[in-house]
Amino acid sequence: MTNLKRTLLVILAAGSLAACTGLNSTQQRVLSGSAIGAAGGAVLTAVVGGPVLLGTAIGAGAGAVAGAVTSH
């Protein structure tokens, strides 16, 4: 990986984290639910065999819904 690609990756990661400031409780739950669901969907799909991107998308959607439903 070239230095330019690494630098761009760090900038994008920092920018995406900065966008998460100022979220209310429900938004935080939806965001963390979708992240956890995406990771779980990717791992599960990779283990059982199948399209990992589809598993990731389904897991992210399910996690976001679960995060929204479980908010106070």
SS (H, E, C) the chain: CCHHHHHHHHHHHHHHHHCCCCCCHHHHHHHHHHHHHHHHHHHHHHHHCCCHHHHHHHHHHHHHHHHHHCCC
Residue range 11-22, pLDDT digits in tens: 877 777 666 678
Residue range 24-60, pLDDT digits in tens: 888 888 888 998 999 999 999 999 999 999 999 999 9
- Are the C-beta atoms of residues 36 and 56 closer than 8 Å to each other? no
Residue extents of the structural domains in the chain = 23-72
Q: What is the pTM of this model?
A: 0.70
